[in-house]
A and B are shown apart, each in its own frame.
Chain A
Amino acid sequence: MLTRRAALLSAAATALILAAPIPSRAADDLKLPRQKVELVAPPFVHAHEQATKQGPKIMQFTLTIEEKKVVIDEKGTTFQAMTFNGSMPGPLMVVHEGDYVEVKLVNPASSSMPHNVDFHSATGALGGAELTLVNPGEEVTLRWKATRTGTFVYHCAPGGPMIPWHVVSGMNGAVMVLPREGLTDGKGKPIKYDHVYYVGEQDMYVPRDEKGNFKSYDSPGDSYTDTVEVMRKLTPSHVVFNGKVGALTGKNALTAKVGETVLIVHSQANRDSRPHLIGGHGDYVWETGKFSNAPETGLETWFIRGGSAGAATYKFLQPGIYAYVTHNLIEAVELGATAHFKVEGKWNDDLMTQVKAPSEIPPANTH
């Protein structure tokens, strides 16, 4: 039953596991400083320099896999989630071009399945997936060089039909590789941000029973057959930001002040999306997420290709509540893909004013 590929995978994984506790020869040869980064759960992003004068470093991250049952909407619908570090999406990892990214992937013994990780920002071995497959109770360390700038998706890709299932079950996240000199408008003007938020969009496929109610399962394995049947219809039951309906609204709404610039990183590991800030715009938008291309400016809606992450900045000019949605409004309103920004500051009458409040239509002038 042991296929050649599986044997290779397991051999590779074993080799890495054996090597992991002892820094490898290559790492010694790098003679670079190391920086250990504590990741934080989205929509927040770990502290980082927007531009750096330091030389390249080895940036160390740990991703711990967590399979768990979560609630994904206000109706109490449950979902068998598979996660990196317990959140959907997994955390955003920020490094600079030329840094080495060293990721320890831990699959606790409590997991029910093998997992791995494919970094779209990495070069070779299926983005590292071939070198990172870990069974429950195993861990592996992978290092890759950040040679390209931009925002990139990472996701679990453990082979065959497991791939899409693990991705839409929550095993997706993003990496942001910043140019060492920071973001620019493509003409040399630096672009800075006061806040960065990571919005991870995810399509979910929860099976229903014969009455039309969402089903609940005891384990990922129990949910598999029914879930794949729903997935194959390509019609999600939920499309959400950050793991559940309402994860970024109400008390969890994103915040900013008038005059502040936010950078919004938006990833979708599986399906196309079209972010739109209702009442605002995209000042500088890297629609494909790659900072070696000049950003587009002044956009109303931008497109995130399935399997990519994009980035947009916006300087808030007006206070109030803004909705950040995917502008397929059926998905935004009916399926959940809505976030809110709460922006405080001073209203600008020049940009907008209600000239006349709603009142009855006056009688027609008969003259």
Chain B
Amino acid sequence: MLIAFKLKLALACAAGLAGPLAVAPLLSATDTRGGALVVEQAMVQVHAGALSYRVAGDFTRGGKQAAAPLRTIVFEKPLAIMRRQVSAADYQACVDDTACRALERGVAVAADRPAVQVNYHDAVNYAGWLSRKTGAHYRLPSDEEWAFAAGSRFKDDGLPVDEDDPSKRWIARYERESERKPGSSAPRAFGSFGINENGLADVAGNVWEWTSTCFVRGALDGAGNSVSSKANCGVRVVEGQHRAYVTDFIRDARAGGCAVGVPPDNLGFRLVREPLPLMSRLSAGLGRALHAPRS
């Protein structure tokens, strides 16, 4: 099984490097055995490239608070990611198929509005269900992938660190989070927040999107290289107007009380797909063939 998965990745890699890099919108309805109508969303392909990326998490150097390191991330293959966030109607199909937890009352089941007030597990469940229904492999993007696809809408959240005065960083973060665009948090029709240079709709609008990246606490050496890190996967990175860290079972991120900061308006998600369906089927077949003699 593991071999098959690795092979899939390898094939996807090859396909990515060799294949056309054009945008490949795909919108097809598949009638499934469960009766639910599974709508495969339009995807965009973000061209291979590089990204200057501020690592998510909290870092220390010599036991003192330090700025998160800035890295260059190279994407050697294009990234296939949903053009828009998963809609409330898309998500409801998974609920109707008893594979996803119901939406909160008050979230309108609409095809032109994002599924909001969903937690990390809801997003992962949906990705698993969609993968089973379509035969493709859908998953949440990592924070790096989200940043890459978000392009100019991804904001570096590096903050000045004054080793002697922790308040400077808190105030700087508070002020930046307070810069958010004014407006209602009510979910709006897809496209309301525009399209970015990679063709993604509504990036950094009023829906923050779950990523698969865990909250990391790391220690750096003098040169800024990581000497140790510990991931806490009960808290995941969510991305939008600013980067936030949200406990995985939270559906509605609120602030107030001790949490002095500005919370995401809404929590939603979009998925990446790998590999292409054709290659997936091919690799699955190959995988079975290769796997057979061993079983």
Which residues from chain A sit less than 8 Å from chain B, CB to CB? 71, 74-76, 211-213, 249-251, 253, 278, 318-323, 325, 329, 332-334, 336-338, 340, 342-347, 349, 354, 356-360
Contact = CB atoms under 8 A, between A and B. Distances in A.
A360 B175 CA distance: 31
A252 to B, nearest CB: 9
A165 B258 CA distance: 32
9 contacts: A74-B265, A75-B184, A319-B167, A319-B171, A321-B170, A323-B260, A337-B256, A340-B174, A359-B219
B60 A76 contact: no
**For this complex, into which size category does the number of interface residues on chain B fall?**
35 or more
Given A278-B257, A333-B254, A74 B185 contact: yes
A170 to B, nearest CB: 21
A250 B166 CA distance: 19
Contact of B184 (A74, A213, A336, A357): A74
Contact of B60 (A323, A325, A329, A359): A359
A321 B184 contact: no
**Interface SS, A side:** loop
A347 B165 CA distance: 5
Contacts of B228: 360
Contacts of B177: 250
Nearest to A353: B166
A345 B217 CA distance: 28
B58 interface: yes
Nearest to B260: A321
B293 interface: no
Contacts of B255: 249, 333, 338
Nearest 4 A-B pairs (CB), nearest first? A319-B167, A250-B178, A320-B167, A333-B256
Contacts of B185: 74-76
A250 B174 CA distance: 7
B65 A357 contact: yes
Given A212-B106, A253-B174, A359-B217, 12 more contacts: A212-B105, A323-B260, A332-B256, A338-B255, A338-B256, A340-B260, A347-B166, A356-B63, A357-B60, A357-B63, A358-B58, A360-B228
Nearest to A346: B165
Given A344-B171, A358-B58, A349 B164 contact: yes
Interface in B168-191: 168, 170-171, 174-175, 177-178, 180, 184-186
Nearest to B63: A357
Interface string B137-166: 000000000000000000000000000111
A319 to B, nearest CB: 4
A338 B185 CA distance: 19
Contacts of A323: 256-258, 260
Interface in B50-92: 58, 60, 63-65
Contacts of A343: 167
A329 B258 CA distance: 9
Given A320-B171, A349-B164, A357-B64, A213 B106 contact: yes
A356 B63 CA distance: 6
B206 to A, nearest CB: 9
B127 interface: no
Interface in B11-69: 58, 60, 63-65
Interface string B85-114: 000000000000000000001100000000
Given A76-B186, A349-B164, A359-B219, A322 B171 contact: no
Contact of B178 (A251, A329, A344, A360): A251
Nearest to B169: A320
B247 to A, nearest CB: 14
A250 B106 contact: no
Nearest to B175: A342
Nearest to B180: A250
Given A76-B185, A342-B174, A349-B164, A360 B256 contact: no
B256 A318 contact: no
A344 B58 CA distance: 23
A347 B174 CA distance: 17
Contacts of B186: 75-76
A213 to B, nearest CB: 5
B174 A321 contact: yes
Contact of B166 (A249, A336, A345, A354): A354
A358 B57 CA distance: 12
Contact of A250 (B63, B105, B262): B262
B257 A333 contact: yes
Contact of A319 (B60, B65, B165, B256): B165
B178 A318 contact: no
Contact of B164 (A250, A333, A347): A347
Given A342-B171, A342-B174, A334 B106 contact: no
Nearest to A358: B217
Nearest to A339: B256
A255 to B, nearest CB: 10
Contacts of B6: none
